Structure 1
């Protein structure tokens, strides 16, 4: 798991909302919040893993869902607390693969590829077990994550660009033997450049289903996105829902 002083420390937290501005747009946030609020149910409690600066937690709380977050980065959590309504979101500082909080929840969720911040299969499997321990019977675990983009890799190439935008460049480097990927971010402002490398572990839908099954959860539904488009072989991401059996 990425540490507080590394990839999501103060320097990243200070610009996180700005650098991810497209993900804060209403047409991105609103469908996700509506989907999650429906699953949480009236009077339900939601646990967000990797709550960050509150992109989803704050609007979900405004929908009447009691939200608690787990976040490793104190700098990110401080940005959340400073926002209007942020003081109402409880935050536990810790690694979301293993951190336990009080009570049970009708919903737990991981969005924006955050499951890949856990850089080993063991940590990802631990996350499912931790979530299962927090869910009440009938509760759901939702993950939004990209489908590995390996079809864009021709033989002999391991790099995929994801941003070429003026002074901002980004590319992913894949290691298909270990399912590891590192995102490389370069930004040039007034002739000066900054560089950030963030490691991830990509994970396949069927692999996530097996992790869920080991943790005692079962697949309930899988969609291409938050507005419930069908998931197909051409989908580049998925929103998957696993549930904890009631019996």
Structure 2
């Protein structure tokens, strides 16, 4: 695997938490952290120990830690982790700087986690099949037997893209234009964001992803010694159907 590129530098990190996506709302974070906390401490005897791949600014980690879960993190971006460190409680969370597909969360922590999780479509940031397979293997490496790996991601929009299955507009306002570009041959996609800045011009930020289907993720899990335990459309446990546009999947280490 080639060395991953950090697409979340200081400019992105400084405004990351300003995102209007519902995932940043207090009510949603209570829902998401509650879902994860149940998996981290299934016997309710303790808060459990969880590891977040791509912990970033602590959007999910801090609400989860507030529930009594011992949270650790791995992240490639020093700028994103600096935002976490600046928040109340952020300095208390151990974070390993590195690629979540290979990095280890501390010496002697292999097999010590009840939960590993990777959310907000970030599995796609491992922009190659080899890197995604390695991500599942790394999650399994950190989990105790019976522990769970959770991935939240979208169903590939290539199905609803224009007739050539290449372009899909997902945002179109005066302040922001968002266009996903797909290559069905390689399963690579690029998420293009054009954001209006103070002088009236637009700043472009393009991030590569590899889109992946639920069945392919299940196969990656099996290769890592994990089995599918449950799959939902969303964190509120809405049933997953053929019409679902996203999924929250839970695999258990055997």
TM-score (norm 2): 0.93
Alpha-carbon offset, residue 18 of structure 1: 1.1
Alpha-carbon offset, residue 21 of structure 1: 5.5
Q: Residues 126 and 20 of structure 1: is their aligned pair in 2 closer, same or farther, counting only changes over 3 Å?
A: farther
Contact persistence 1:105–1:139 (CA under 8 A): yes
Contact persistence 2:162–2:168 (CA under 8 A): no
User: Any gaps of 5 or more consecutive residues in structure 1?
Assistant: none
- The question of 1:163 aligning with 2:171 is answered yes
Contact persistence 2:159–2:165 (CA under 8 A): no
Residue pairs, 1:61-140, within 5 angstroms: 61-102=65-106, 103=109, 104-140=112-148
User: Any gaps of 5 or more consecutive residues in structure 2?
Assistant: none
Q: Distance in 2 between matches of 1:62 and 1:216?
A: 31
2:240 is aligned, of 206, 215, 231, to 231
Structure-2 residue corresponding to 1:12: 12
SS of equivalent to 2:47: coil
Structure-2 residue corresponding to 1:194: 203
Of structures 1 and 2, the one with the larger relative CO (CA 8 A, separation 6+) is 1
Q: Distance in 2 between matches of 1:67 and 1:196?
A: 30
Deviation digits for residues 188-209 of structure 1 (CA, Å, limit 9, x no counterpart)? 2332221111000000000000
Q: Which runs of 4+ in 1 moved over 6 A?
A: none
Alpha-carbon offset, residue 95 of structure 1: 0.1
1:147 is aligned, of 118, 130, 155, to 155
Q: Distance in 2 between matches of 1:159 and 1:24?
A: 26
SS of equivalent to 1:43: coil
Contact persistence 1:2–1:117 (CA under 8 A): no
- The question of 1:219 aligning with 2:235 is answered no
Q: Distance in 2 between matches of 1:178 and 1:20?
A: 31
Q: Distance in 1 between matches of 2:165 and 2:148?
A: 38
Alpha-carbon offset, residue 79 of structure 1: 0.3
TM-score (norm 1): 0.95
Q: Distance in 1 between matches of 2:78 and 2:189?
A: 25
RMSD: 1.2
**How many pairs align?**
243
